[in-house]
């Protein structure tokens, strides 16, 4: 009797921690490691994903922007793919046909699916570069990532490229998450960039004024990063051990 109770307790604990982290993220107060963990746990926890979506929706509404009800974009695209009779046919064929032919048909089928996906998502502009030509066969299985880049100079139109991993599960939040990542990178790397910019541009040392937060020593920053990663790893293994022990 005790076992399931303690299990539920742990899960609740994990959830509330995750929700807290989520809330911190929405307030731009989340450390980057937390974000990564959140991205990971969002995969396995649909409720958390929904919550993230709701938070984003609320924030978007607060900023007075248009709201698109896109609660589970990934699921919708997946549904389109699954509903495609051609794709089903190919899937069945793929199991029976000799592998050589199947590969050929697969790529054709992939193309068809890619077209279907492209109907769902409007993409514009010109391709900058293919992300990874080695994994071309899996290209059709994924949806493009919405691009948060503002084309400031108009030199090159921006297009979402087809990635190679599974359908992004946190589509609406990804933009926010990546914006946050970029913000954190700016904070983290500015000083290191300034070290070199200051020696190679006319503004010299003044380039350090662009650094948002000056830190004592660059080395400390790296050490700090390593320490945090180690701690995270340690926590993970401890959690795993505890889960294994409780079952």
Partner 1 sequence: MVLYKQFLLKTPLGLQRVPCVPSLRGPSELRARKEPNERGGKAEQKVQKVQKGQKELREKQYSFRSSVRACIGSFALVITTVSSVVAQDSAQEDECPQMDAKVQSLLQAMSRNSADIDYSGVVTLQRGSDMQIMRYSHSVSAGRATEAISRLTGQDARIVREAHPTARKYPGHELLRAEKAASGTLCGLTDHYRFRVREGDRIAGRDSVRLQVEPMDMYRYGYVLELDNESALMLRSTTMSVDQREIEQFQFASFDLNPGREEQAAVEHRAGNPHPQESSHLRTGPAWSVSWMPKGFMATDSAPPDSARKSYTDGFASFSVFMEPLNAAIKPGEGVERQGSTVCYTRGMVFGRVPVLLTVLGEIPTNTARMVADSVRMR
218 near partner 1, judged by CB under 8 A: yes
Angle at 151 between CA 150 and CA 155, to 5 degrees: 165
Q: Of 1 and 209, which CB lies nearer to partner 1 in the complex structure? A: 209
**Contacting partner 1 within 228-247 (CB under 8 A):** 229, 233
| Residue from 61, 214, 224, 241 binding partner 1 (CB under 8 A) | 214
Q: Of 57 and 221, which CB lies nearer to partner 1 in the complex structure? A: 221
Residues 6+ apart with CB under 8 A from 37: 21, 232
**Contacting partner 1 within 18-77 (CB under 8 A):** 36, 39-40
97 near partner 1, judged by CB under 8 A: no
Q: Of 26 and 131, which CB lies nearer to partner 1 in the complex structure? A: 131
Give min distance, CB of 132 to partner 1, in A.
7
Q: Of 10 and 215, which CB lies nearer to partner 1 in the complex structure? A: 215
| Residue from 27, 192, 223, 235 binding partner 1 (CB under 8 A) | 192
Contact 171, 52 (CB under 8 A): no
| Residue from 68, 222, 237, 246 binding partner 1 (CB under 8 A) | 222
Give min distance, CB of 184 to partner 1, in A.
8
Q: Which stretch binds partner 1 (CB under 8 A): 61-69, 80-88, 185-193, 237-245?
A: 185-193
| Residue from 183, 228, 238, 242 binding partner 1 (CB under 8 A) | 183
Nearest Cα neighbor of 131 from 163, 160, 159, 107 is: 163
Question: How many of the chain's residues bind partner 1 (CB under 8 A)?
Answer: 67
Q: Which two tokens mark 11?
A: 């899960």
Give min distance, CB of 173 to partner 1, in A.
10
Contact flags string 131-170 toward partner 1, x per CB under 8 A: xx------------x-xxxxxxxxxx-x----xxx--xxx
Contact 210, 190 (CB under 8 A): yes
In whole angstroms, give the CA distance from residue 208 to residue 194: 6
- Write the CA distances from 119 to 80, 122, 124, 201, integer angstroms: 10, 7, 12, 47
Spell out the long-range contacts of 33-37 with Cβ–Cβ below 8 A and sequence spacing 24 or more.
33/228, 33/229, 33/232, 35/177, 35/180, 35/181, 37/232
Spell out the long-range contacts of 41-49 with Cβ–Cβ below 8 A and sequence spacing 24 or more.
41/14, 42/169, 42/170, 42/173, 43/169, 45/15, 45/18, 47/15, 48/15, 48/18, 48/19, 48/22, 49/169, 49/170
Q: Give the footprint of partner 1 on this chain (CB under 8 A).
A: 36, 39-40, 128-129, 131-132, 145, 147-156, 158, 163-165, 168-170, 174-175, 177-183, 185-186, 189-206, 208-210, 212-218, 222, 229, 233
């Amino acid at each position: 009797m005790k076992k399931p109770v303690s299990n539920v307790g742990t899960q609740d604990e994990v959830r509330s921690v995750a929700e807290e982290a989520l809330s911190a993220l929405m307030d731009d107060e989340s450390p980057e490691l937390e974000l990564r963990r959140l991205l990971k746990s969002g995969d396995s926890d649909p409720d958390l994903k929904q919550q993230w979506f709701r938070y984003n929706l609320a924030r978007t509404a607060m900023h007075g922007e248009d709201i698109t009800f896109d609660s589970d974009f990934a699921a919708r695209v997946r549904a389109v793919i699954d509903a495609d009779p051609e794709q089903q046919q190919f899937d069945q064929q793929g199991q029976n046909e000799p592998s050589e032919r199947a590969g050929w048909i697969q790529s054709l089928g992939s193309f068809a699916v890619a077209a279907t996906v492209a109907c769902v998502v409007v993409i514009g502009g010109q391709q900058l570069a293919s992300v990874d030509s080695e994994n071309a066969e899996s290209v059709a299985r994924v949806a493009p990532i919405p691009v948060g880049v503002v084309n400031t100079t108009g030199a090159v139109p921006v297009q979402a490229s087809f990635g190679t991993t599974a359908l992004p599960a946190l589509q609406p939040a990804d933009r926010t998450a990546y914006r946050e990542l970029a913000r954190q990178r700016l904070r983290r790397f500015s000083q290191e960039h300034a070290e070199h910019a200051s020696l190679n541009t006319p503004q010299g040392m003044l380039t350090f004024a662009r650094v948002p937060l000056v830190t004592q020593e660059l080395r400390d920053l790296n050490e700090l990063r390593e320490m945090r990663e180690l701690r995270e790893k340690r926590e993970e293994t401890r959690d795993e051990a505890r889960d294994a022990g409780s079952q």
